Structure 1
Amino acid sequence: MNAYIFPGQGAQFSGMGLDLYENSPEAQHLFEDANAILGFNITDTMFEGTAEALKETKVTQPAIFLHSVILAKTLGENFKPDMVAGHSLGEFSALVANGALTFEDGLRLVSKRAIAMQKACELQPSTMAAVLGLEDKLVEDICTKTEGIVVAANYNCPGQLVISGEIEAINRACEAMKEAGARRALVLPVGGAFHSPMMEPAREELAAAIENTTFSKPNCPIYQNVTASAVINETEIKTNLISQLTAPVRWTQSVQQMITDGATLFTEVGPGKVLQGLVKKINREAQTAAASIETKA
């Protein structure tokens, strides 16, 4: 069975999407539509902007979404997913890919999500940290015992978790992780505490937008971050998508469940190769590939 997976924030690079624009009339049309929907020429930043310009939240999330979704659309008849999943932001790309969301509605939601998250970050300073070389349970226990807000946010692969919360709490937790034997506990250069209770203002704002958006019955299951299980019901998809901002990304569990349910090939659609690497760390036997415009029908 073919599983298609879609990357999240951090996969952006200068020049992203330009090959699609130059080689596919359909891609060109979709990029122009995106400029109109967003109210600014995101293509200028994607194709010619600096890495710094691409880091701006209102640009980063729509840019990765556009690269992923437009690439999927250029694959034509070669794009036949039996199941999909996306890492954090990538869940929106996956929902367009499996027909639950239209391109236009997906882009509008991603743009609102980015702006809402940015606002939440500005309300209270917060951050995230990568923890390498500890068991999940130990990381969770240390977070629970640490004073202040700090939670496990991204279960990326065995031995690689990201924690999220208040700056001081994250610093205290990192020291405790190192004392417990972590290979590394490193604060990340991010704007705030994503996938933590500190994103509650953004969750509330995004919830209203999601509730007012029409979702269709998808053509294949999505394995959502919140549940790490196959979901096909539109109402359930909406509920999980709203919960996603304050809940952890259960990527390890999602990939394991997809393999249990019959996934034999994981194809990453979008910028970078991060998810292919994570899949291999989760299960060495899993086959991975990168989608490319060359494979379009």
Structure 2
Amino acid sequence: MNGERKSAVVICPGRGTYNAAELGYLARHFPDAGLLARFDAIRGEGNQETLSALDGADRFSMAKHTRGDNASGLIFAASYGDFCVIDRDLVEIVAVSGNSMGWYTALACGGALSAENGFVVANTMGTLMQQSLIGGQLIYPWVDEDWVPNPARKAELLALVEEVGAREEVELYLSIDLGGMLVLAGNAAGLDAFEKAVEPVQGRFPMRLANHAAFHTPMQEPVAAQGRSRLDPGLFGQPGLPLIDGHGQIWWPGATDAEALYGYTLGAQVTQPYNLTRAITVAAREFAPDLFIILGPGTTLGGAVAQSLICADWRGMADKAGFQDLQAREPVLASMGMADQRELVSRG
């Protein structure tokens, strides 16, 4: 980027972004030892292994590090730490959004929750989901490898989801509208039926997501209810930055009903589809940022954000090559999980 201050929308990643390559991310990047110690103390009060111990492990364990009760806290802390080191002399943050559990991080980054209360919300909900572990998730694309939108294919797949989900003793739902991907969730019968009904594509789809439950579906009603019983509405306040939720609604500073925000976060956000594509579209059209900053950990969300912008016909991008061309000329995405892009927007 040149020396001019850029406007930016910040995107907070969700589950599945802290993997083997991210082990040690907090040790490398988290800027506030005191805050990390407070996060660790909160974990200790619940007899949970501290983030420092998990992040400092000798080796990454899929079984341990991707569990909801561990992954949610690790991802929240990594993302919030990255938010704290964005260089405000280079970047003016105009709005914040997130993908799935990244909504909890967005609430803290945007000021509707304090850092510690945001951690409590993310850690509590991740723990409740792990304890229940209702259903599972898989991911399947509706765009080709060149990221060219194919709305007819998307409609076809969503119709299949509806048809499969209507069968007796079968549950299948759209969980996340994720750029050019559909994240589906359901019970074992629903996921199996979908996998049998579609062609394998791009060498890896349909792909089951390890240690993921049927997030953002009616199957999570019991978890949402438990969350409301554990977490007090008084934790929530006015945001300091506009927040764009999983329906594409904007929660504005000074005009937000904190009780309604609590109700959405521990209600519809848990039990209804999360539309990241819509959130990114709203962010692009309402705020027209120079840049989208994707917080770490991980680097997997960049493709979904770029695909969402292509679907929105933003800056004339029509496919992967169009995005790559624009990104090479004037970066529109900065992924803080990548060292070279991190340097563009951060103090460290």
Q: Give the TM-score category using the shorter length.
A: 0.7 to 0.9
Identify the range of structure 1 (190-199 vs 69-78) with the bigger mean alpha-carbon deviation. 69-78
Once the two structures are superposed, the pairs formed by residues 258-277 of structure 1 within 5 Å of their partners are: 258-261=283-286, 262-277=288-303
Q: Is the 8 A contact 2:113 2:237 kept in 1?
A: yes
Provide the rounded CA distance (Å) in 1 between the counterparts of 2:15 and 2:298: 11
Structure 2 counterparts to residues 23-62 of structure 1, below 5 A: 24=31, 27-39=32-44, 40-52=49-61, 53-62=64-73
Q: For residue 205 of structure 1, what is the aligned residue in structure 2?
A: 226
Q: Please, what TM-score do these two structures have when normalized by structure 2? A: 0.76
Aligned to 2:211: 190
1:66 pairs with 2:77: yes
1:150 corresponds to: 172
Amino acid at match of 2:136: T
Task: Give the secondary structure class of the aligned counterpart of 2:271.
Answer: coil
Structure 1 residue 74 displacement after superposition? 3.1
Aligned equivalent of 1:230, options 221, 231, 250: 250
Amino acid at match of 1:142: L
The answer on whether the counterparts of 1:266 and 1:276 sit within 8 Å (CA) in structure 2 is no
Structure number with bigger Rg: 2
- Whether the 8 Å CA contact 1:9–1:61 is kept in 2: the answer is yes
Asked if 1:249 corresponds to 2:274, the answer is yes
Structure 2 CA distance for partners of 1:139 and 1:182, relative to 1, 3 Å: farther
8 Å Cα contact 1:132/1:161 also seen in 2: yes
User: 1:186 and 1:76, CA in 2 relative to 1: closer, same or farther beyond 3 A?
Assistant: closer
AA aligned opposite 1:102: S
> Number of matched residues?
286
Name 2:27's counterpart in structure 1: 18
Contact 1:120 1:199 in 2 (8 A): no
Gaps in structure 1 of 5+ consecutive residues: none
Aligned-pair CA distance for 1:277: 2.0
The 3-state SS of whatever aligns with 2:293 is strand
> How big is the alpha-carbon RMSD for the aligned residues of Structure 1 and Structure 2?
2.2
Look up the equivalent residue of 1:280 and give its one-letter code: A
How far has the Cα of 1:98 moved from its partner? 1.1
| C-alpha contact (below 8 Å) 2:73/2:123 kept by paired residues | yes
Structure 2 counterpart SS, 1:260: helix
Q: Counterpart of 2:15 in 1: which secondary structure?
A: coil
- Deviating beyond 4 angstroms after TM superposition, the runs of 4 or more aligned structure 1 residues are none
Match in the other structure for 2:188: 167
Q: Residues 274 and 236 (structure 1 numbering): CA distance in 2 closer, same or farther, change over 3 Å?
A: farther
Give 1:210 shift. 4.1
Aligned partner (choices 82, 105, 123) of residue 94 of structure 2? 82
AA in 2 matched with 1:4 = V
Instruction: Give the Cα separation in 2 of the matches to 1:211 and 1:31.
Output: 23
> 2:179 touches 2:306 (CA, 8 Å); kept in 1?
no
Q: CA deviation at 1:275?
A: 2.1
CA distance in 1, matches of 2:334, 2:9: 10
Cα distance in 1 for residues equivalent to 2:142 and 2:295: 28
For the 8 Å contact 2:233–2:262, the answer to whether it is kept is: no
1:137 matched to 2:149: no
The code of the aligned residue for 1:258 comes to: A
Secondary structure class of the residue paired with 1:245:
helix
Letter in 1 for 2:54: T
Residues 105 and 122 of structure 2 are in contact (CA less than 8 Å); yes or no, is this contact kept in structure 1? no
CA gap of 1:264–1:235, structure 2 versus 1, over 3 A, is farther
- TM-score, with normalisation over the residues of structure 1? 0.88
Which residue of 291, 305, 319 corresponds with 1:279? 305
Q: What SS does the corresponding residue of 1:43 show, helix, strand or coil?
A: helix
